[in-house]
Amino acid sequence: MRAGAERGAFAPAAVTVGGITLPGNVFCAPLAGYTDFAFRKLCYGYGAALCYTEMVSAKGLLYNSEATKELLLRGEGEPPQTAAQLFGADADILRAACESEALAPFPIVDLNMGCPVPKIYKNGEGSALLGDLPRAEKIVAACVKSGKVVTVKFRTGLTREKPVTAELAKMCRGAGAAAVTVHGRPRDAYYAGEPDYAQIAAAKNAVDIPVFANGGIFSVRDAEKMMRETGADGVMLARAAMYCPHLFAEFYGAGREWDIRGAIARQTADMLPVYGERRTVVHMRKMAAFYLRGTRGVAQRRRELFACDTLAALEEVLRLVFAEEPPCD
């Protein structure tokens, strides 16, 4: 297992977004296929101050899609501040989604203007809006009229050569957004390369609303560098949370050792009554593979892990993995 972490290095601080005071400034990003109610519960338990739903289609809500509404399931005891993330390209449809009964439990709506996936981009949604700022402005203004606290998550631009970060941040602020999150890479970089700290700093210097930084943060040290280089008001963890949701606890001085087996058991127990055994197993074998990265014995067990089709089979593979794990010093 991993060695202990430096204590008290980050010192998370409360932050206010649109009148909503959050207990800290370390958030869990919206992650398609991952940030369901059970995963959010795990992250909140480790100290995340704000979690987001998976990316939700505004059109899907308009057409009353059951699969879309399922993405908005909340867990028992889930903190009230959880934000819903919407994507779309039509301002009227997005406003209607904000005003829908499905989004009533969510005080914050985050607008996705950063997704680089071709299917989303080709529909004029997600990061495509980086190339159409008038449309983006119309969308933000329409959603603000719904009465929700509106935030926007976007990238630095379509390409590194043509950033729109500061301009877009100012536009979002002018249209009524309460905060913005900047993923410090352009659309064409996807998730590769070091984040552009200067562009995030440019957004922070351009507006008087909170600016949160996203991209390339896999440790407390990475977050410290991000805050130092950009002046951001907080950070948002994405892939790092997927690999190790316990990372949130490290910001509050916890060591890097964590109870992986216990976390898997808790997440499984939360999912099972809602999703049933088959779907829970398919999801949890994927999550277990993330959580167990670098654990001794897991490499030769991966094939067995992904072959599991029952909870009993999954638990047996995990038993073998942990039996092969040496005691911690």
The amino acid at residue 284 is M
Q: What is the separation, in whole angstroms, between the first and last Cα of the chain?
A: 9
H helix runs in the chain, sequence order: 37-46, 58-62, 66-70, 91-98, 118-122, 133-144, 165-174, 197-206, 220-230, 239-243, 247-250, 260-291, 302-307, 311-323
Query: Nearest to residue 45, comparing CAs of 298, 320, 262?
Result: 262
Q: What is the DSSP letter of 132?
A: -
Structure tokens at 187: 């659309």
Pairing relation of β-strands 15-17 and 20-22? antiparallel
The amino acid at residue 16 is T
Structure tokens at 30: 């919206």
Say how far apart CA 257 and CA 319 lie, in whole Å: 18
Say how far apart CA 137 and CA 129 lie, in whole Å: 9
328 assigned to active site:
no
Q: Can you spell out the DSSP letters for 238-252? A: SHHHHH-TTHHHHTT
Q: Are 75 and 37 in contact (CB under 8 A)?
A: yes
Could you tell me which residues are beta bridge partners of residue 237?
28
Q: Are 314 and 308 in contact (CB under 8 A)?
A: yes
Q: Are 88 and 69 in contact (CB under 8 A)?
A: no
Only one residue has tokens 């933000």, namely 140
- Catalytic residue, chosen from 115, 172, 244, 308, is 115
- Region for 124 from its dihedrals, namely left if φ exceeds 0, alpha if ψ lies in -120 to 50, beta otherwise: left
Say how far apart CA 92 and CA 322 lie, in whole Å: 52
List, by residue number, the catalytic residues: 115
